[in-house]
Structure 1
Amino acid sequence: MRRFEFDQPPMLSRAEYNRADEIRDDHQRLKDGWSRALLLQIDPTGRYPLGEDGLGWIPAVDIDDAPPPEAVFLGLHPDDGHDMWAMRFDVLDGPKDDPRRGAQLLGPNEAGILSTALGVLNWHDTARFSPVDGAHTEPIKGGWARRNVISGREEFPRTDPAIITVVHDGGDRILLGRQKQWPDRWFSTLAGFVEPGESLEQCVLREVHEEVGVDAWNPQYIGSQPWPFPRSLMVGFEVTADPDQPLDFIDGEIAAAEWFGRAEVIEAIEAQQDWMGPDGNPIVDNARLRLPGSISIASALIRAWAYTPATGVR
């Protein structure tokens, strides 16, 4: 039985807009809706334009008279029901933001819409040739599939499952790690991709052992969140381990790991010590512990653990 839970879904898992998947293959319906549709521009790095209150939409007809082949249908706008599309653009005019930093400033629906746009466009960027015979592929179904121009075989967007887990001692300590490329004092939960033939629970135990050399037990599912960097689904768990077991960074991905007390973690949370400042650069201060930004499910997992007493009773 899991010992804590989210007080609300992670930030990128809160959207409730209509994805309207039933009309993706209706070419005439998509064409008819284009005249009133909204278009979201995404540059090659994932940046997006800012509007007065969130995403910077433009009228789709400003780009073309009909949906271009490379455009992706996102669904129906939650406010007015107009069709929403996304496309890559090499250059964005006006104010713009990066999703890792700026998505936390969006509402639940717009954050989810942005996550969908990024994930599908990122898939298109790497799916222009068939994995079967190397032939060119072309987008179909409103951007939700690609077709082999020779064989007609269809390929669909990939989502790569990965686990992410809070490791705790069943009491008031949590084990956090720091990857080699992160600055000192930046710590987060452990994570890794699911391997073929492996369950999510098996992946949790394997990744914890490989990254920090700890033999954990009793993995329990907490929740999930899309992570379109480039196209992952982060599946959140909590798992128990012995803080007296020596740490061993077996696979070399983790540069440092440490058991932190609940009080220190709460202090870091309440200080709102996100990794990055508003200018996109790392924050420099004297804090001993800096936690991941609020857009990530890692942040939601750490918060859920920190604010739940060790007895499991809120």
Structure 2
Amino acid sequence: MRHAEDVTFGGSGFDRGAEIRPDAQAVAAAEADPAASAVLIWRGKPLVTGAARDRLARLRLSHPVVAGAAPPRILLGREDGAPLFAVDISNWAPEGVDPAAIGGFVDLSEQVHPDIPEACFAELRQVMTRLTPHDAELAATARALMGWHASHRFCACCGAESVPAQAGWQRLCPSCGARHFPRTDPVVIMLVTRGNRALLGRAPVWPEGMYSCLAGFVEPGETLEAAVRREVFEEVGVRVGAVRYLASQPWPFPASLMIGMHGVAESEDIIRDPVEIEDAMWVTREDLSAAFAGRHPLIAPAREGAIARFLLRNWLADRLD
């Protein structure tokens, strides 16, 4: 697709400064730079500001909350020539927070740190479409990296506790010397069509009425095309023939790369896997258009900002090329 990177979290041209990461002196100089700043993450939520929660907040490294944050401090890159870091303050425990509600599919709660009253921590899925492409990329990168560090503290080779390295872009095992890198899980998400209809399904945990494209993890030794055909057949029993790549989207919930594909169905009878799929149906362009306009009595489209919605909108507009 000519406009593939228009998708939420798409490439904004951010300078990640990857050449700095192996140079400990350069990283130390970046931390000492008086112009250096940081974005903050709390339990997966970025710190945002603005009345509409439409700007990713930055704080100087000298700010007490940043200075007191537990490691790692991750060098995201350079912004207007100045170093930009990410820090996690998940050790902060605000009052009146239900841990089970944090980071859920629908988390509308906001948390305000007493030392940062001008901003709040908000669920990224709720604010991602309000952020600029640049801020959205930064928030997604910071969230994914912090989540990886939190869930991969121990060496997969020997079990010893590993330590952050390369400005937060690696973990190093001091016991056996193994190096570990941030995890990204490839997921195919399929716009499957048959003439004037698209194949949509819904998972049991989704909000009432919400339908989206089918998706699934790519297995070892499998091409993207083969993964599309396997997942669609496993989930709804539909055979897919021709498959092509459309676009991709980093999806830091927690660490996926959503790979948008277009598949042409060779059959249409639906045999649903009841464990994975609560319902599936063929939807005409007319019905899907009504759903996007909020006029369909049964169907609500995929979440705003998700690549599924991006693919479906472009199919409606005949802009898949």
TM-score by length of 2: 0.84
CA distance in 1, matches of 2:46, 2:207: 27
- Please name the residue that 2:45 is paired with: 47
Compare 83-92 and 184-193 and name the one that shifted more.
83-92
Of 269, 294, 297, which residue of structure 1 is paired with 2:304? 294
Q: Which moved more, 1:140-149 or 1:262-271?
A: 262-271
Matching residue's letter, 1:75 = G
Q: 1:7 to 1:198 in 2, by over 3 A?
A: closer
Residues 194 and 172 (structure 1 numbering): CA distance in 2 closer, same or farther, change over 3 Å?
same
Q: Structure 2 matches for 1:192-231, cutoff 5 A?
A: 192-231=216-255
2:246/2:261 contact within 8 Å kept: yes
What secondary structure, in the 3-state scheme, does the structure 2 residue paired with 1:33 have? helix
In the alignment, structure 2 segments of 5+ residues that lack a partner are: 93-111
Structure 1 pair 7–231 and aligned structure 2 pair: CA distance change class (3 A): closer
Secondary structure of 2:278's aligned partner? strand
- d(CA) in 1 for partners of 2:3 and 2:214? 18
Q: How far apart are the structure 2 equivalents of 1:67 and 1:151? A: 28
Residue 248 in 1 paired to residue 292 in 2? Answer: no
Structure with bigger RCO (C-alpha 8 Å, 6+ apart): 1
Percent identity between matched residues is: 33
Distance (Å, rounded) in 2 between the aligned partners of 1:136 and 1:297: 36
Q: Which residue of 2 aligns with 1:76?
A: 78
CA distance in 1, matches of 2:189, 2:2: 14
- Correspondence 1:19-34 to 2 at 5 A: 19-34=16-31
Aligned-residue offset at 1:303: 0.7
Structure 1's unaligned 5+ residue stretches are 274-285
**Aligned residues: CA RMSD:** 2.2
In the alignment, the residues of structure 2 paired with residue 163 and residue 148 of structure 1 have an alpha-carbon distance, to the nearest angstrom, of: 32
Runs of 4+ in 1 over 3 A off after TM superposition: 4-8, 63-69
Contact preservation (8 Å) 2:37, 2:83: yes
TM-score (norm: length of structure 1):
0.86
Once residues 84 and 159 of structure 1 are traced to their aligned partners in structure 2, the CA distance between those partners, rounded to angstroms, is 22
- Relative to structure 1, is the Cα distance of residues 135 and 104 closer, same or farther in structure 2, using a 3 angstrom cutoff? same
For residues 222 and 20 of structure 1, do their structure 2 counterparts lie closer, same or farther at Cα, with a shift above 3 Å needed?
same
User: For the structure 1 residues 28 and 219, does the alpha-carbon distance in structure 2 shift closer, same or farther, using more than 3 Å as the test?
Assistant: same
Q: Does 1:107 align with 2:132?
A: yes
Q: How does 1:108-127 map to 2 (within 5 A)?
A: 108-127=133-152
